[in-house]
């Protein structure tokens, strides 16, 4: 008998799963072209390394470098937590995040997961011995650079305000051409109609419905602002709002924090001054006559979370069939509730069904937002970037009946049978 030894095949080294991350500012065509170039570059960069396995390129079009505002960044982190990515390649610290806190918190979380981050421009690997020290220094530098650029931009804007110049803007009825507001004739006619209708006694909601029947979609809020907009009488109040800081880039209302500048006769008016003044008087008169008592708006667990996938309006809480035995609490698209199915063919959702589906998805504390794209559909976006598509159905009417409703139905059937017998 002959026994031959069979050696195990040598174990091939596993490939390192590598992804790339890129980010550009939103809405700039040149930057979006740069984004496409970065995607192509990093795809080829990763795939040509024989020791790496391509794990994707994650890209964000973002106004800020904060972590929470970037869905692709969040999705990349979720992939890292799931063990699908072992290394991330990115161009520079400033592309990864705009402030020290975000850079370090993200890198430290990835370090705990064993995920390395390679910053190509600085030549730094985050898992190397000197990585975190260098990252702290360079991230602080990137934050100061961002602050400097932000302050320079603010200085230019405020200097223009002092000189009565307006920067980039778009408002109904005008377009900005070479720093001057020029009238758009067809839109200007609509503006004049709005002011005339308001002075004739129509309310903002009635004007909005009239405009929608004419094919012009303007919200109630926008109409209210238009009626108060001094630019329609040829003037400009500049610096009504400002950017809070270079990190959040949140725009806040100027209520005295910074000076405002009022420029009279800065451009051709759409509304004459007498008409504009009459509208302001009418607004004040109606505010005194119809202003309800101040009430704190009710806030419910789903308030601000749900948006319509058809018209992008928020969903609001409502008592449907109020005062009847079929009364129930539902969440309904604000456009559908205000203007009807012709304006938005969305669907209301019973609150009990919504609560059950949210609980199945892990609870409301894990939800970032909810989209209602169509009939009997929910898209639930979790805070970790996970997206869940859920279907739901209305229970049969017999299942939704209370004991009191069943007893009332039994009594009616009994009385009906007695009448038939007599």
Strand-strand pairing, 328-333 and 315-320: antiparallel
**Please, which pLDDT band fits residue 188 given cuts at 50, 70 and 90?**
very high
Angle (nearest 5°) at CA 390 between 389 and 391: 135
Do 172 and 272 contact (CB within 8 A), yes or no?
Answer: no
Give CA–CA dist 52/419, Å, rounded.
84
Do 379 and 349 contact (CB within 8 A), yes or no?
Answer: no
Phi-psi region of 362 (alpha: psi -120 to 50; beta: other; left: phi over 0): left
Do 38 and 22 contact (CB within 8 A), yes or no?
Answer: yes
**For the purposes of burial, counting CB atoms within 10 Å of the CB of 119, is it exposed (0-12), middle (13-18) or buried (19 or more)?**
buried
Of 29-43, 159-173, 204-218, the least confident = 159-173
pLDDT in tens, 209-246: 999 999 998 888 889 999 998 889 988 776 665 565 55
Confidence check: pLDDT of 36 > 50: yes
Give CA–CA dist 154/2, Å, rounded.
87
**CB neighbour burial string for 257-280, b if at least 16 within 10 angstroms, e if fewer:** eeeeeebeebbebbbeeebbeebe
Rg of the chain (C-alpha set):
30
What domains lie within the chain, and their CATH numbers?
16-146 (3.40.50.1390), 164-290 (3.90.1750.20), 306-400 (no CATH)
Please state whether the predicted TM-score (pTM) of the whole model is above 0.75.
Answer: no
Do 39 and 22 contact (CB within 8 A), yes or no?
Answer: yes
Predicted local confidence at residue 67, as pLDDT: 45
Give CA–CA dist 173/196, Å, rounded.
15
pLDDT in tens, 81-119: 999 999 999 988 777 766 666 677 788 788 889 999 998
Most confident stretch, 26-40, 187-201, 280-294: 187-201
Neighbours of 157 (CB within 10 A): 18
Residues in contact with 33: Cβ distance below 8 Å, sequence separation at least 6, in sequence order: none
């Amino acid at each position: 008998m002959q026994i031959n030894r069979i050696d195990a095949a040598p174990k091939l080294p596993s490939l390192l799963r590598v992804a790339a991350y890129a980010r550009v500012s939103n809405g700039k065509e040149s930057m979006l072209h740069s984004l496409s170039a970065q995607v192509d570059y990093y795809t080829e960069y990763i795939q040509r390394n024989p020791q790496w396995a391509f794990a994707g390129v994650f890209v964000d079009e973002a106004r800020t470098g904060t972590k929470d505002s970037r869905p692709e960044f969040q999705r990349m982190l979720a992939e890292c937590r799931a063990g699908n990515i072992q290394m991330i390649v990115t161009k520079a610290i400033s592309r990864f995040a705009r402030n020290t806190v975000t850079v370090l918190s993200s890198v430290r979380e990835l370090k705990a997961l064993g995920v390395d981050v390679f910053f190509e421009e600085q030549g730094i690997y985050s898992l190397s011995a000197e990585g975190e020290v260098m990252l702290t220094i360079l991230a602080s530098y990137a934050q100061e650079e961002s602050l400097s650029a932000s302050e320079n931009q603010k200085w230019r804007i405020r200097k223009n305000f002092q000189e009565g110049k307006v920067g980039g803007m778009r408002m109904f009825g005008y377009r900005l051409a070479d720093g001057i507001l020029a009238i758009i004739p067809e839109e200007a006619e609509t503006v004049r109609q709005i002011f005339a209708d308001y002075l004739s006694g129509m309310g903002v909601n009635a004007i909005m419905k009239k405009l929608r029947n004419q094919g012009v979609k303007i919200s109630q809020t926008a109409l209210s602002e238009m009626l108060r907009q001094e630019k329609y009488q040829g003037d400009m109040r500049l610096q009504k709002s400002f950017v809070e800081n270079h990190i959040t880039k949140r725009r806040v209302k100027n209520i005295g924090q910074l000076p405002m500048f009022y420029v009279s006769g800065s451009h051709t008016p759409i509304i004459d001054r007498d008409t504009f003044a009459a509208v302001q008087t009418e607004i004040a008169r109606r505010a005194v006559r119809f202003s309800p008592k101040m009430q704190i708006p009710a806030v419910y667990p789903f308030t601000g979370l749900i948006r319509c996938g058809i018209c992008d309006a928020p969903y609001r809480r409502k008592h449907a069939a109020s005062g009847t035995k079929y009364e129930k609490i539902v969440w309904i698209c604000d456009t559908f509730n205000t203007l009807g199915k012709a304006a938005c063919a969305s669907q209301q959702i019973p609150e009990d069904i919504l609560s059950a589906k949210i609980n199945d998805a892990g609870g409301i504390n894990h939800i970032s937002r909810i989209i209602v794209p169509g009939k009997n559909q929910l898209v639930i976006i979790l805070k970790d970037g996970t997206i869940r598509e859920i279907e739901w159905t209305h229970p049969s009417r017999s299942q939704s009946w209370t004991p009191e409703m069943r007893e009332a139905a039994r009594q009616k059937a009994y009385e009906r049978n007695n009448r038939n017998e007599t």
